[in-house]
Chains A and B, each alone.
Chain A
Amino acid sequence: MNLSLHLVIAPIVIPALAAPLALLVMRSKRRLGLAISFTACFALLAVAVWMLLLAGDGTVRTYELGGWEAPFGIVLVFDRLASIMLVLSAVLGLLALLHAVVTRADRAGWHFHPLLQFQLLGLNGAFLTGDLFNLFVFFEVLLIASYGLMVHGQGPARLKAGVQYVVVNIIGSSLFLIALGLLYALTGTLNMAQMGLRIAALGPEDQGLLRAAALLLVSVFALKAALVPLHLWLPRTYAVATPAVAALFAIMTKVGVYSLIRVVPQVFGDGAGSAAWAPAPYLLPAAILTAMVGFAGVFVARKLSEQAAYAIVGSTGTLLIAVAGWQVDTLGAGLYYLVHSTLAGAALFLIADVVARRRGSYTDTIASGPVFGQRQAVGLLFMVAAIATVGLPPLSGFIGKLYILGSVADTPGWGWAWGAILLTTLAGVIGFARAGSTIFWKEAAPADGAPPGGNHAARVPGSDMAAPIAALALLVALSIAAGPATAYGEAAAMQILDAPATARAVLGRG
């Protein structure tokens, strides 16, 4: 193994080293700590982009930790899907870090930077690992970091939502362990590739247990992805989190989606007996409901951050409508939409914060208030983000949705999928238009009777628009590069659905 392939583990090692360093120096030498944090994020991005290019040749690369051969040791599997997710998490980490530093939100509590690095460590590990128990461990790493980030900045609302978030996730983790125990008892392995092979060889007496284990595992991923009816924890949590943190959390639901995409074809594929494509009959109805609930929430939300949280739920639903097809073209469309919806959701949270910082006591509630500084610029940002999120031309949301509509057209139940996507788009358009016109076009005298001239809103320099602008610029880039991006997504989908080839690559048999 040459040295450059050791870079495969770099996305896990870089944040693991940066977090304690940042923890050590942040208190006494803040500038040095910031430098460490930014350097780690840029290094992560560079490595991720390098891996994206490397994975483009279509081989499934593996990295055996400590030189222990799979299935005995823990193995990292790095293919097109993993590298897409790595780039996404590196980009989002950088955006969140930038916004937190510019708005000084990282000073609102202790240890923002180490927790951010640990969060990235957990995310990258979950995207790379090829071992089911290891996936659980990285889930825990990212969850523990997210508990800290969730209550960052404190305050009663955050603690209240934090308690619910922690309880829901502890129960989710316990269910994950039960599913793992069942699968281990049945197959005697935790390596995903080998598990897929062994499940295909199970006898008829074990099929009931297998099906239970498969559905339990899938429900855990659905909980992480905030799929209806397991979505109730999300809106409350994300809406009250520190905005930079909420932007980073935009990728957390996608971790659930990623796990579904990774585990179902590999472990519960065609040969899996009673568990073959176990979630398939439930996934499409649940996804349609999720899209409906999410965009209904966009329609009725009272605050911009709440609206962004519901937009995350809705776009995850739209994404899973595509994933539920389990075909190369639907999955490819889903992957393109996944990248788009994560960035768009993050942009919405950041813009909600930009609005809240300028409106003083009005914060980001969808109610008319006095004129605030840079209203046109902020309004323009909001419009672009809203267009991207609901999927109007010309941005990537439109391309993604069009691509999804086209790809699901020849699957059963396409009528429901089309109806749901088009209807939710309409609801989203109306919801965002209402919010935008109320906040950016209408004016009202301050409710507390202060004179309209006495602007009590804080004067804020425009620098806090940097991170939202960067996010929107990435969306524009994604729209311009839609050709190569969709081709890459489709190639990734083909690689995922070819489970035997992955198994051969991981287990090293020809």
Chain B
Amino acid sequence: MSLEFLVASGIGVLVAGGIYLALRGRTFQVVLGLTLFSYAVNLFLFASGRLVVDRPPIWSKAVNEYTDPLPQALVLTAIVITFGMTALAVILMLRSFLETGSDQVDGDSTEEHEDERS
């Protein structure tokens, strides 16, 4: 099995799981879904510079093969942003839960959704 196939299917599984969880009704699952989805995105960005094994990410006259350093910089930015976003989402959802007494994303009372959970 090639490296490309492994990475690609890994990203696919993460995206599928992330979207499934993000579509759930309760905030904790949504946060997990967003996190999985952002992992997938980061991996995808990383792979967008082609998968090269064991090569320096720097150009110099001595090396003939190197990996693209730009996606690594992009991933770093994306990681920082999604990390901050996830933290913000958690805090916001926590505040929302404390103020409305419900952890549903659409804010409806939990009684209406009782049958869904059972």
> Could you list which residues of chain A lie within 8 angstroms of chain B, going by C-beta atoms?
133, 137, 140, 144, 147, 151, 154-156, 159-160, 162-164, 166-167, 170-171, 173-174, 177-178, 180-182, 184-185, 188, 190
> Could you list which residues of chain B lie within 8 angstroms of chain A, going by C-beta atoms?
22, 27, 30, 34, 37-38, 41, 44-45, 47-50, 68, 70-71, 74, 77-78, 81-82, 84-86, 88-89, 92-93, 95-96, 99-100, 105-107
Known: A147-B88, A159-B96. A167 touches B41 (CB 8 A): no
Which single residue of chain A is at the shortest CB-CB distance from B108? A160
Q: How far does the Cβ of A275 sit from chain B's closest Cβ, in whole Å?
A: 17
Residues of B within 8 A of A160 (CB): 96, 100, 106-107
A137 to B70, CA, bound (A): 15
Residues of A within 8 A of B47 (CB): 181, 185
Taking chain B's interface residues, is the majority helix, strand, or loop, or is none over half, making it mixed? helix
Which single residue of chain B is at the shortest CB-CB distance from A167? B30
Which single residue of chain B is at the shortest CB-CB distance from A166? B89
CB of A184 within 8 A of CB of B70, answer: yes
A421 to B1, CA, bound (A): 56
- Having A160-B107, A167-B89, one finds 5 other A-B pairs with CB under 8 Å, namely A133-B77, A163-B27, A167-B22, A178-B41, A181-B47
Which single residue of chain A is at the shortest CB-CB distance from B93? A163
Query: Which single member of A151, A163, A178 contacts B44 (CB below 8 Å)?
Result: A178
Q: How far does the Cβ of A74 sit from chain B's closest Cβ, in whole Å?
A: 12
Taking chain A's interface residues, is the majority helix, strand, or loop, or is none over half, making it mixed? helix
Q: List 5 A-B contacts (CB under 8 A).
A: A159-B99, A170-B82, A170-B85, A181-B47, A181-B74
CB of A181 within 8 A of CB of B96, answer: no
Residues of B within 8 A of A151 (CB): 92, 95
Residues of B within 8 A of A177 (CB): 41, 44-45, 78
CB of B96 within 8 A of CB of A162, answer: yes
A182 to B44, CA, bound (A): 9
A167 to B107, CA, bound (A): 13
CB of B37 within 8 A of CB of A174, answer: yes
Residues of B within 8 A of A164 (CB): 105-106
Q: How far does the Cβ of B85 sit from chain A's closest Cβ, in whole Å?
A: 5
Query: Which single member of B34, B41, B45, B88 contacts A144 (CB below 8 Å)?
Result: B88
A188 to B22, CA, bound (A): 31
Q: How far does the Cβ of A483 sit from chain B's closest Cβ, in whole Å?
A: 44
CB of A163 within 8 A of CB of B41, answer: no
Q: How far does the Cβ of A132 sit from chain B's closest Cβ, in whole Å?
A: 11
Q: How far does the Cβ of A420 sit from chain B's closest Cβ, in whole Å?
A: 30
Residues of B within 8 A of A184 (CB): 45, 48-49, 70-71, 74
Residues of A within 8 A of B41 (CB): 174, 177-178, 181
CB of B50 within 8 A of CB of A185, answer: yes
Which single residue of chain B is at the shortest CB-CB distance from A139? B81
Residues of A within 8 A of B93 (CB): 163
Residues of A within 8 A of B100 (CB): 156, 159-160
Q: How far does the Cβ of A171 sit from chain B's closest Cβ, in whole Å?
A: 6
A3 to B110, CA, bound (A): 61
Most buried by B among A154, A160, A180: A160
Known: A171-B37, A174-B38, A185-B50. A166 touches B88 (CB 8 A): yes
Residues of B within 8 A of A182 (CB): 48
Residues of A within 8 A of B27 (CB): 163
